[in-house]
Structure 1
C-alpha cells in the first residue's frame, strides 16, 4: 500500500512538472492532456482542474470548459472559471448570477474585476463605475492603465446617458483615453470638440503602433478603424454627410475584423443615404443585422439599427412593413412611438388618412404623457382628411401652455371661422387674453401681433370691451404707439365714455401733428402724378378764353363709329349655313382632291367603270348571288354661302 501511494505521488509530481512546462510554453493542448493524466489518478486535485479549465479557455473552447467545470466535484472553488466561460459565451446574466450565488465575501480581485466587466456588458453602468473605481483605488500592478481605460469607457457611457454624477477628468496620456473622452463629448452633443480629440487620438494611435515592429500596415488600419468611424459620426452629426460617407466607405472597404464596427458603419451609411441609393442601403442594413453582432452591440445601437431597417422598408415599399413594425414593438416596447410614426407614414403614402389617424389615436390613448408632440401630427391628419371638428377637439385638448400659444390660438380661430362659428373663435381669443393676464411670468416671445389680431377681431364683431383688454395689453408693451392709443379710445367710447375721455388726453394735440413746413414740402414734392396735374393746370391757366387753340374755343372731333362691313351678297332673310363654323374638310359638300400621282386600279374589261369593278371581279366570291346596287349620284346639300357663290358665277357668265 505504501509503495502504491508513493508511486501515485511520484506520478502526480511528474505530470505537474509536464503541466508547468506546457503552460509556460503556451502549449495548451498538451497542458490539457497533462491535466487529464493527473485527474485520472486524483480526481480531487483542484490545481489540475483549474489548469485544465484555464487551458481550455486559452484555446477558446469555452463551451467545453464550462461543461468540465460544472461536472467537477469541487465546482465551488472554480467560480471564476465558470463565470468567465458564461461571460464569453454571451450569457452575462448567468455569469452575474454565478458570481452573486458564490457568496464569497469579500470578492477576490479577479472576481471583482470580472463582475465589473459583466455589469458593463449588461449596461448597468452605475454599478460598473463604482466597482471599477474601487478596483483602481485598491490595486497596484502592471494592469493599472487598462483598468483606468475601462473606467473611462464606463464614464463615457454614463455621460451619454446623462448621469448626474460628477465624472473624473482622466489623464489623456494614451490614445484609448483620448478616444473615450471624445466619445463622452460626442454623447453630450459637443461634436466639434470631440472631432478635435479624435484627430489627436488617431495620430497617437498610429505613432504608438508604428513603434511595434510586429505590427503590419493592415493591423494598424484595423486598429484605427474604430477611431475613424467615431470621427465620421461626429462629422455626420455636424451636417457634413459627404465627408462622413467617404470615411465609412473606406472603412468598410478595408474589411475590419470587428463585426460590431462593420454594423455601426453600415447603419450610419444607410442614414446618410436616406431614400437615395436604396440598393446599397439594403445591402448595408443586412450587414448591420447579422447574428454575429447581436451580443457585441449595446441596446441603444441595436434599437437604432432596428428602426432604420423599418424606415428603409418604408422607402422601398418592399416586404411586410406591418410585420416588421410589430416585431420592433415586441422586441423593444419602448420604441412604440417610432413604430407608430412609421406605420402612420405608410398609411399617408397610400393616402389612407383615416387609418393613419387611428394609429396615432391608439398611441395617444395608451401614452397620454407622450402625446404632446404627436398631437400635432394627428391634427394634420384630421385636416388632410377634411375633418375640422376632430382637429379642433385635439387642439382644445392640449395643455394650457401650448393651447394658448400664438400659433395654436391662430389655428383655432381660423378653424372656427372656417366652420362659420364666430362665437367660438371669439371665445378662444377671450380665453387667451385672460390666460396671459393671469400668467404674465409664463409669457415668452413677442405677443403684440396676437393682441393686435384679437383687438381687430373683437372690434369688428362689436365686442368693444373685450377688444379694449387686448389693446390695453398691447399699449402696455408699446406705450409710444399713438395708433394703438387711438384705437383704445375708440373702443372705450363704445362702453365707457369717461375712460375714453381720460385716454384721449394722452393723445397729442392736432397742431403738433402737422406743421406749415410739412404741408409746403408735400405740395412741392414732384411725384409723377402730381407733376402731370401741375403741368395741366399751368397749361390751362396760361391760355385765355379767346385765344385760338384753347380748350374753350376748340371742340374735340369725336370719332364716328364705323359700321361693320357685311359680305357683298349678304341676304339677311336667308338662313345661315349650319356648318359655317366647321373646318372646310369637315363640311358635307367638301370633295377631297384626287392625287394624280396615284393611278386608279382597274379590273375587268377595258372601258369598264371603276365603280362596277367589284361586281365583275370573280376573285371576290362573296359577290356571287348578291344583289348589287348601281351607284347613284347623291345631290349635295349646299348652305346659303355656297348658293350665293353659284349665283354670283352665273351672273358673271351672263355679263359676257
Structure 2
C-alpha cells in the first residue's frame, strides 16, 4: 500500500505542484513514519516552497539516517537557516559532486571563508565543458568573492583584475566589479561601473519591471555610499529619490540603506533625531546578517550616536558584556572597536589628560586589551608624550611574552600592532630598538606556515643597516625566503644582494643579472633639470667632478658664489629697500668708512692725528704739542688760576 502510494506520488510530481507533493508525502508518513523515501521527498518539497525551518525540523525528526541519505538537502536547509557550521559538516561528511561544490562555495562565502570560496569557484570554472550554462553565474560569484577578499584585507588572493567584454554585458558582474573597486578605495571607478550596472539593468529585456526594481535597489544603496565618500552630496540627494527603504526585503540591506540615507542628509544637528534614525531598523539574523566589516562600521556609527546623546552607562554595559565573551588579547577589529567605545564612554566626552585619568585605571585592570591600549597610546601621542606611549606598549608586550598561549604570542607579534610601536620608536630615533623588535618578530613568524611578507620585508630592510655580520646574514635569509614566496620580487633580490655583497660575493654573482642596470633606471632622469631645481649632487658625484677637473687652477669664491640665505624680517632695518644696493662698507666702524667726515674742530684734529699714509702737518702737530704741555704744566699756578665752582 505504501509502495503503491509512493509510486503514485512520484508519477504525479512536477516542478509546479510542490504543495500537492507535500500533501501526498504527509499522507504516506501518517501511515508509516519511518518511510525514508517519503521523508526525502517531503524535505525536497519543503525546500522548493522556501519553508526551510520546517524542512530542518523534518530532518531532526527523521534522524541520522535521513540526514545521511539526503545529505545535500540537509546541508542546504542548514545553510538557509544560518547554521553554517552544521551545513559545512554535512557537506564534508555525506555530500559530494558538483552540486555539493556549489553549495559549499555558498556556505563558505556566507561564513566569510573567502579564500576557500575562491578556490572552489576556480575549480568549478576549470570544468565547464558540459556545464556551459553555469559560466555566467560562476563569473558573478567569483567577482563577488574577490570584492569580499579585498574588503577583508586579503588583496593578495584577489584573482580578477580587468573586466572582459562579456563581463560588461551583465549588470551583476559589473556591479560586483564596482564593489571590488570600492573596496580598493577607487571610488571614481566604482561610480562609473555602478552607473553602467544601473543602465544595463534598466534596459534588460529578460527582467520584468518588478524584478528590475528589486535589482536596482541594492545598486542604488551602494551608489549612494560612493557619492557620500566622494563628497557629492547634491547628487546623493537625487539618488535618495530612487531608494524606498520600506520596499527592501532583506533586513541587512535595509539597515545599510537607512544608515547611508542618514549620512547623506547630514541630520547631525540634532543628535537625538540621528540616534532614532540609526536605530529604526532591527538587526538581521540567520542567513541575512551583515558581514563583519559591515557590522563593524554600523556598530561604530550606533555607538557614536550613543555618545552624542550621552548614553555613557548604556555603552559601558553593552560593550563590557560583549568584550567578556571575546578573547583577550585579540587583534580582531570588531573586538578592539568595542574597547575604544568602552574607553570613550568612561571618558564621558573629555579629552587629553582628563580622559587619560579615567582610562588608565581600566588599562591596569585589562593590560592585554589591545584596543584599550591603542586608545591610551593615541591620547599620549596627541599630547606629545611619545615616551609614555612607548612605555605603555612595552609593558603590555612584557606581559604577553610571559604567556605560553599561542594566541597570545600571535597577538604579541602581530604586524599591525608592532607597526605602531616601530612608528613610536622612529619618532624618538630609537634605531636599535626598531631593529631588535622587527628581528624578534621575523624569527617568530618564520616558524609559521604563512609568515606575513610585509613584516619579513620590513625586518630584512632594517637589518641591512646593521654593522653586525650576523644581522646581515639574517637579512639575507629573510630576503631569500621572500624570493621563494615570489620569484618576481625584485626588492627581495636586491635586498639579498645588498646583504651578501660584503659577506660572500660569490653567492650573489648569479643574482646580479636579475637586477636592472643603473643606466636603465636613470635613463629618463634629467640631471641638469634636477640641479637647476635645487637638488644638490651627491658626495660621490662631487668627488668625481673634482677628479675630472684635477690640475685646474683654483680660484677664490666671489660674492656671487655665496649661497644666499633668507634673512628674517625682524633682523632687517625698518627702512630696508631690497631694490637698493647694500653698502659694501656697512660692516666697518663708522669712522673707518670712506664716506666718514668728522664734525667740529676737535673731530678734524682727531681725524688728522689718526691719518695713516697722508701728508703730515708739522706746524699743526707742534701747536697741538704746546697746548698739551700748557695744560699739563704750571703746577700750583694752574690751580690758583682755576675758578672755584659751587660746592
Bucket of the pairwise TM-score, normalised by the shorter protein = 0.5 to 0.7
2:203, 2:296 → 1: CA distance?
A: 36
Residues 52-63 of structure 1: matches in 2 within 5 Å? 52-63=42-53
Which runs of structure 2 are paired with 1:19-168 in the superposition (5 Å)?
19-20=12-13, 23-24=14-15, 26-39=16-29, 46-72=36-62, 74-75=65-66, 76-102=68-94, 104=95, 107-139=96-128, 140-161=131-152, 162-165=154-157, 167-168=159-160
Matched, 1:326 2:306: no
1:565-587 CA-to-partner distances (Å, cap 9, x unmatched) read xxxxxxxxxxxxxxxxxxxxxxx
Q: Which residue of 2 aligns with 1:583?
A: none
Is contact 2:149-2:158 (8 Å) kept? no
Matched, 1:16 2:26: no
Please say which structure displays the higher CA radius of gyration.
1
Distance in 2, matches of 1:359 and 1:37, equals 64
Distance 2:160 2:274 in 1: 40
Kept in 1, the 8 Å contact 2:272–2:309? The answer is no
Preserved CA contact (<8 Å) 1:128 1:154 = yes
Q: Retained in 2: the 8 A contact 1:235–1:241?
A: yes
Which residue among 279, 284, 290 is the counterpart of 1:286? 279
- In 2, Cα distance between the equivalents of 1:59 and 1:360? 54
Name the count of aligned residue pairs: 427
Structure 1 length-normalised TM: 0.54
Structure 2 counterpart of 1:198: 194
User: What are the ranges of 5 or more consecutive residues in structure 2 without an aligned counterpart?
Assistant: 396-419, 432-464, 468-534, 539-553, 563-577, 586-596, 601-647
Counterpart position of 1:175: 171
Note the alpha carbon deviations across 1:90-129, whole angstroms, 9 max, x for none. Answer: 1111111122232x5xx12222211111111111111111
Unmatched segments (≥5 aa) in structure 1: 410-436, 440-476, 481-505, 526-536, 541-656
Cα distance in 2 for residues equivalent to 1:374 and 1:352: 9
Q: CA deviation at 1:205?
A: 0.9
Q: Please, what TM-score do these two structures have when normalized by structure 2?
A: 0.55
Correspondence 1:339 to 2:338: yes
SS state of the match for residue 249, structure 2?
Answer: coil
Q: How does 1:442-521 map to 2 (within 5 A)?
A: 521=581
Matched, 1:317 2:310: yes
Please state if 1:262 is matched with 2:254.
yes
Give yes or no for the alignment of 1:239 onto 2:231.
Answer: yes
Separation in structure 2 between the aligned mates of residue 511 and residue 56 of structure 1, nearest angstrom: 97
Distance, in Å, in 2 between the alignment partners of 1:52 and 1:14 is 15
Query: How has the CA–CA distance of structure 1 residues 111 and 46 changed in structure 2, closer, same or farther, with 3 Å as cutoff?
Result: farther
Contact 1:156 1:183 in 2 (8 A): yes
In 2, Cα distance between equivalents of 1:274 and 1:329: 30
Distance apart, 1:270 and its partner CA: 4.9
- CA shift for structure 1 position 510: 9.6
Counterpart-to-counterpart distance in 1, 2:209 and 2:10: 36
Corresponding residue of 1:602 = none
Tell me by how many angstroms 1:478 deviates: 8.2
CA contact (8 A) 2:373 2:392 kept: no
**Within the alignment, does 1:220 sit opposite 2:195 as a pair?**
no
The verdict on how the C-alpha distance between 1:400 and 1:156 changes in structure 2, with shifts beyond 3 A counting, is closer
Matched, 1:366 2:365: no
- Checking the alignment, whether the CA contact within 8 Å between 1:259 and 1:293 is kept in structure 2 is no
User: C-alpha distance in 2, partners of 1:189/1:511?
Assistant: 54
Distance 2:390 2:29 in 1: 81
Residues 91 and 508 (structure 1 numbering): CA distance in 2 closer, same or farther, change over 3 Å?
A: same
Q: Give the Å deviation of 1:207.
A: 0.8
Q: Distance in 2 between matches of 1:293 and 1:43?
A: 30
SS in 2 for 1:326: helix
Return closer, same or farther for 1:186/1:198 CA change in 2, 3 Å cut-off.
same
Indicate the SS of the match to 1:297: coil
Shift of 1:274: 7.9
Shift of 1:183: 0.7
Q: Is the 8 A contact 2:108 2:114 kept in 1?
A: yes
In the aligned structure 1, how far is the partner of 2:425 from the partner of 2:308? Answer: 34
Separation in 2 of the partners of 1:511 and 1:187? 59
Note the 1:341-360 alignment, pairs <5 A: 341-346=340-345, 347=347, 349-350=349-350, 351=354, 353-359=356-362
* CA separation of 1:214 and 1:190: change in aligned 2, threshold 3 A: closer
The change in CA–CA distance for 1:309 and 1:245 in structure 2 (over 3 A counts) is farther
Contact 1:175 1:205 in 2 (8 A): yes
What is the aligned-residue RMSD (CA, Å)? Answer: 4.9
1:618 maps to: none
How many angstroms apart in 2 are the aligned matches of 1:68 and 1:400? 58
